[in-house]
Amino acid sequence: MTSPNRPRSFQEIILRLQNYWAAQGCAVLQPYDMEVGAGTFHPATTLRALGGRSWAAAYVQPSRRPTDGRYGENPNRLQHYYQYQVIIKPSPANLQDLYLGSLRAIGLDPMVHDVRFVEDDWESPTLGAWGLGWEVWCDGMEVSQFTYFQQVGGHDCRPVSGELTYGLERLAMYVLGVEHVMDMPFNDPDAPIPLTYGDIFRQTEREYSRWNFDQADTDTLFQHFKDAEAECARILSADPVDGAGRTIPMAHPAYDQAIKASHIFNLLDARGVISVTERQAYIGRVRALAKACADLFVTTEAAQA
């Protein structure tokens, strides 16, 4: 696996992906500034996958999955991690080749490795979204999710977006040959102040694991969930015409509240206070918000071809 092309750090892998997708014509966006469970929640994916307008974006998205917290001890599991997300609409005919190019860019040469596209259908019950595609295997390890979106927020995707999601830590650990995520070099190991992933995140993983599992105040969270839900509904039902007579429907502010509700639900789930019977109902409520936001978004300027 050693070659001059091999990246030396986590951040170098990210930078190479950024450069690669920039070179392919994607707008390199910045992470969304809210807590989300996956890069798909970024409005650049969820909302922009809707409607007829062409789109190409790539970005890192910090993602939070409270139930995956392991106090920084598990070599692979984190409650906060990074996804690299690429979304292109309409999906280009050479999307698989573009993807393979990105693997080459980070030092995975498909002539030496065994790269495979293995069936894996994707579904997000909270977003009312699904698609078909694969998980991409490299030497038996899943390194990416590759999906052709068919529906988002209950709307058929026309045209279809192609979505690529890289689990950055896992992919980087493989490329860098690291066994435990906390040992992974974050910046260059020869930098004057070399930092590992653990130097940056071991403490936060411990703190958030405790908070997620034991300390988050559930009454407050339940209240926040209701507040977000109510605010979302209020924004959506607001008169699209403002006081000055301008027509400004507010799909994005409403969607922010849907994201918020989704994350609060994840926190409540980690706290173990959502019963089995309630679980489906909560997911249904978040989905209803996401769908209502999608319904509004498709009527807006950004959704027109």
Partner 1 sequence: MPDLLIELFSEEIPARMQARAREDLKKLVTDGLVNAGLTYASAGAFSTPRRLTLAVEGLTANSPTTREERKGPRTDAPEAALEGFLRSTGLTRDQLEARDDKKGQVWFAVIERPGRPAAEIVAEVLDSSIRTFPWPKSMRWGAGSLRWVRPLHSIICLLSDEAGATVVPLTVEGITAGNTTRGHRFLSPDAFTVTGFDDYAAKLRRAHVILDSAEREAAIRQGAENLAFARGWEIVPDDALLSEVAGLVEWPVPLMGVIEDRFLDLPPEVLQTSMKEHQKFFSARNQKTGRIEGFVTVANIETPDDGATILAGNQRVLAARLSDAAFFWQNDLREAKAGMGAWAEGLKSVTFHNKLGSQADRIKRIAALARELAPLVGADADQAEKAARLAKLDLRSAMVGEFPELQGTMGRYYSLAAGQPENVADAARDHYSPLGPSDAVPTARVSVAVALADKIDTLAGFWAIHEKPTGSKDPFALRRAALGVIRLRPNFPVSVILEKQVERGLLAAANQHAVGFRATIRINTPDAKVLEEAVDVIRTFPLTEKGEVWTKEAHEQFLEVREAGELYYLSSAPEDHFERFNGQAKAGRPENIAADLLSFLHDRLKVYLRDQGIRHDIIDAVLAQPGNDDLVLVVNRATALNAMLQTEDGRNLTQGLKRAGNILAQAEEKDGVEYSFGADVKFAETDEERTLFAALDTAEPAIKAAIAAEDFPAAMTAIAHLRAPIDAFFEAVQVNTDNQIVRRNRLNLLHRIRAAGQQIADFTKIEG
Nearer to partner 1, 244 or 305 (CB): 305
Helix, strand, coil percentages in the chain from 3-state DSSP, rounded to 5: 45, 20, 35
Where in the chain does DSSP place strands (E)?
Answer: 27-28, 55-64, 80-89, 115-119, 122-124, 129-138, 141-152, 155-156, 162-167
Nearer to partner 1, 141 or 195 (CB): 141
Among 22, 25, 73, 114, binds partner 1 (CB under 8 A): 114
Residue 93 lies near partner 1 (rule: CB under 8 A): yes
Nearer to partner 1, 60 or 178 (CB): 178
Nearer to partner 1, 31 or 90 (CB): 90
Binding-residue pattern over the window 144 to 183 for partner 1, x denoting contact by CB under 8 A: ----x-x------xxxx-x-----------x---------
For residues 127 and 287, the answer to whether their CB atoms sit within 8 Å is yes
Tell me the site size for partner 1, rule CB under 8 A. Answer: 45
Q: Could you give the dihedral angle defined by the CA atoms of residues 217, 223, 224 and 228, in that order, rounded to the nearest 10 degrees?
A: 160
The SS3 call for residue 85 is strand
Which residue in the block uniquely carries the two structure tokens 């409540």? 268
Residues between 256 and 275 with contacts to partner 1, criterion CB under 8 A:
275
For residues 106 and 17, the answer to whether their CB atoms sit within 8 Å is yes
Residues between 182 and 241 with contacts to partner 1, criterion CB under 8 A:
226, 230
Task: Name the residues that contact partner 1, by CB under 8 A.
Answer: 1, 75-76, 90-93, 96, 110-119, 121, 131-134, 138-141, 148, 150, 157-160, 162, 174, 226, 230, 275-278, 281-282, 284-285
